[in-house]
Amino acid sequence: MDVQENYTKIFLSYHSSKLELVAHLSKILEKNGIPTWYAAKDIKAGENWDTAIHTAIKSCRAVVLLFCAQADASIQVKRELSLADKYKKPVFWVRVERVEPNNLSYFLTATQWFDWLDMRDATIEKLISDIQSNALATCDEKNPEARREPNPEADPGWAKGVIAFPTERDAAECAARVYFAVAQKDPDSSVILPTGRSATMIFRAMVRLAKEYGECPFGEAQLISDTETFGVWKEHETSRTRHIYELLIEPLKAMGKAPSAEQLHLLSGIYTDSDPVKDAQKTIRMFPPSIHGVSVSPVGEILAYEVGTYNEVNEIIDDGPRIVEVGEHSKKYIDPNQPSKSILTIGLGTAMSAGVLLILAFDIQKANIVRRLLTGTITAGIPATILREHPNAYILTTESVVSDANVKDLAITNKTAKEVAEWIISN
């Protein structure tokens, strides 16, 4: 096989039971100027099957999977997606049966997906558009096998900066410093605190650094949490409010540096004499958010917006506070002990309205979504990609994450947490 010839092609992965359908999909794509490669068509008689597939995936432009129950159970399809993951190829999966990924969920949850249940050719138009706008960016047209060398002057594209620190602790310190500086600079605003593991590290950093920032590091700014388990009270073990109090507010209070009770507007998981959604709406309206640190899950979930749940960006990009329902997968990711599937979120639109947006991706499991954020297209199917619409966003991550994501050339390194925080504030 001529690798140079193949690098513009889309590799079609499928179960043999869908041979007629893959041939039809190939014709649709090629009619729209997208050349394809699939085994039944392109492996010549006598050619080694495994070698041909390996070479085709290594040199292809992207992979499109026809997803069905048989494909989910296929060892060959799993091997093909493993190769796509190894060579960092974009994967688009086209669902042709109303089933969810099980055996292939590791490879598919953070990728673009489409429903083709109606088998109408017009339904593939969005796939064609996304392939044309996204997949070419992942290959070097002159040498598809070459990895890009680090380039300190490289433009990260939509992000104001991709900052990679030696450790998660350094990344958390940077976030903490930005929070304090923005809060003190904008006393009539609110600061939206993240939740999750990244939040734990940031809260610890805030407690360590509090003595550097005066009587109250948050100044007069109001504090809001970005999500809360709906249906539980603030003392429940799965309450985000409890988490913030235990790791941040109480330690600051012990130091005499806590925000006042009037500054705290942490989301409530229960109805009392007021409506928690309306309370959050009122706070955000009165105190526009100046900063938000959004923790991105490894599959692209944010603020309880679940991967694969939404089809149109316009459905959610302007959302204010609301209650969302999550599936079992996301519920387990958020907290396996969570008693409720309902989450109160500040809404994606609120995050998008913050003056500074910090996208938090500290641990190595988030390498794939960091790569997807920087090189993929915006799609409601992966809610985290919508953050690309924010005009003042920074990705805070680690050197190991950007290395694994193969985006080192887009990252700023060799800067201290304090230097980066000062740079973000000055921008």
Q: Give me the pLDDT at residue 143, please.
A: 39
Look up the CATH number of the domain holding residue 85.
3.40.50.10140
Ramachandran bin of 29, using left for φ above 0, alpha for ψ from -120 to 50, beta for the remaining angles:
alpha
Could you tell me the residue range of the domain that residue 191 belongs to? Answer: 161-426
Tokens linked to 320: 């204010």
Q: Give me the pLDDT at residue 155, please.
A: 59
Based on DSSP, count helices (H) and strands (E) in the chain, helices before strands.
18, 15
Q: Give me the pLDDT at residue 251, please.
A: 97
- Low-confidence residues of the chain: pLDDT under 50: 1-5, 135-153
Tokens linked to 51: 């070698």
Look up the CATH number of the domain holding residue 389.
3.40.50.1360
Strands in 10-13's sheet, in edge-to-edge order, are: 36-37, 10-13, 62-67, 91-95, 112-115
Residues in the chain, total: 427
Q: Give me the pLDDT at residue 89, please.
A: 87
Confirm if 388 and 372 have CB atoms less than 8 A apart: no
Instruction: Tell whether 219 and 109 lie within a shared domain.
Output: no
Q: Give me the pLDDT at residue 67, please.
A: 94
Total domains in the fold of the chain: 2
Residue 150 lies in a domain: no
Q: Give me the pLDDT at residue 142, please.
A: 37
Mean pLDDT, the chain, rounded, equals 87
Residue 353 lies in a domain: yes
Instruction: Tell whether 193 and 51 lie within a shared domain.
Output: no
Q: Give me the pLDDT at residue 300, please.
A: 87
Residue 270 lies in a domain: yes
Residue 149 lies in a domain: no
Instruction: Tell whether 100 and 226 lie within a shared domain.
Output: no
Q: Give me the pLDDT at residue 262, please.
A: 96
